[in-house]
Amino acid sequence: MGRNLEKVGISWHPAFCGAMEMVLVSDKQLFEFLREYPLSKEPLRMDLLIIKKLSETKPVQNEIARRFKKYNIVEYKSPDDELSIDDFYKTIGYACLYKGLGDSVNQIPAKELTVSLFRDRYPRSLFQALEQEGFEIKEESEGIYSIQGAIPFDTQIIVTSRLKGDTHRSLRLLSRHIREEDVKAFAEEVMRMKDPGDRNNAEAVLQASIAANRDLYEEIRRRDRMVDALRDLFKEDIDAEMKLARQKGMQEGIREGIREGRKEGQQETLLETIRNLMANMKWTEDQAMSAMSIPADHWGFYKERL
């Protein structure tokens, strides 16, 4: 399942940016969110730059943003990506470039710049490498680790799977191992949203989360009306995302089965897949077989056995 989804290419980064805006929704008047911020005229981009509006005096509520200053560089690693010591230094390098490319000397003071790295899984190897290099790692709160040592900027690493509380739910959903209670609570939260921007962010999170956890969402959807209503809210986009995942994830195996011939085990696998598409997607036999790229001259063979 994981390998097939990697081939599809889940939109993790837009979903993460949406999740971050949702996580900081109670503080959103304090910050400006600039996605894929260009560091230079060349195609070198940070995942997310968050600029604090200094005119706002309201204290920051979210634990992740409590270390934020004027300029905050954010790097996100999807569940399929590693977070290595080189990734750590690369992100510090982004911060150095951003600081050094200001329009005037020291326009961006180092003391007003922070670095945050996000990853779903606990980066054990990275933490070991950092400790070997003399850095101290301190868990400020569950899932939030400050890195202390010879770094010119305040730096933290956030392990999203370890974050607690309702405000971090959107980040926890960006995983291949989500919890059912988070899905249901997220559904209820989204149904109460009125702001179009918040709904767009929720849609991005939902698309990535469903594509990575399709079986769980289908199971919950069969039992929970709220999740079904949430799906209906974004029905067109989410159904298209899931259809693409199904198609791409099955293509190679289906083509291999057709190349090898109509062996009994392969027949049953293809027939079961056709039946599932017809049941779950409400497709006809022809639509299911077309989505699976089964050659038209084979359709009659499978129709006789459905």
Tens of pLDDT along 254-275? 555 555 544 455 667 778 788 8
Task: Give pLDDT, residue 45.
Answer: 84
Answer whether residue 133 shows pLDDT above 90: yes
Structural domain contains residue 295: yes
Output 245 or 126, whichever has higher pLDDT.
Answer: 126
Residue 176 banded pLDDT, cuts 50, 70, 90: very high
User: Are residues 139 and 282 both part of a single domain?
Assistant: no
Last residue of a domain, one of 150, 177, 204: 177
Instruction: Decide if 113 contacts 73 (C-beta within 8 A).
Output: yes
Report the domain count for the chain.
Answer: 2
Tens of pLDDT along 142-164? 999 999 999 999 999 999 999 99
How far is Cα 279 from Cα 282, in angstroms, rounded to an integer?
Answer: 5
User: Are residues 269 and 169 both part of a single domain?
Assistant: no
Answer whether residue 126 shows pLDDT above 50: yes
CATH number at residue 23: 3.40.1350.10
Residue 81: domain span: 2-177
Output 26 or 3, whichever has higher pLDDT.
Answer: 26
Task: Give pLDDT, residue 298.
Answer: 77
User: Are residues 145 and 11 both part of a single domain?
Assistant: yes
Structural domain contains residue 127: yes
Structural domain contains residue 226: no
Structural domain contains residue 162: yes
How far is Cα 295 from Cα 262, in angstroms, rounded to an integer?
Answer: 13
**C-alpha distances out from residue 68 to 72, 111, 201, 289, Å:** 6, 11, 21, 52
User: Are residues 276 and 167 both part of a single domain?
Assistant: no
pTM (whole model) above 0.75:
no
Rounded average pLDDT over 130-134: 96
Mean of pLDDT over the chain: 83
Could you tell me what percent of the chain has a pLDDT over 90?
47
User: Are residues 170 and 267 both part of a single domain?
Assistant: no
User: Are residues 154 and 295 both part of a single domain?
Assistant: no
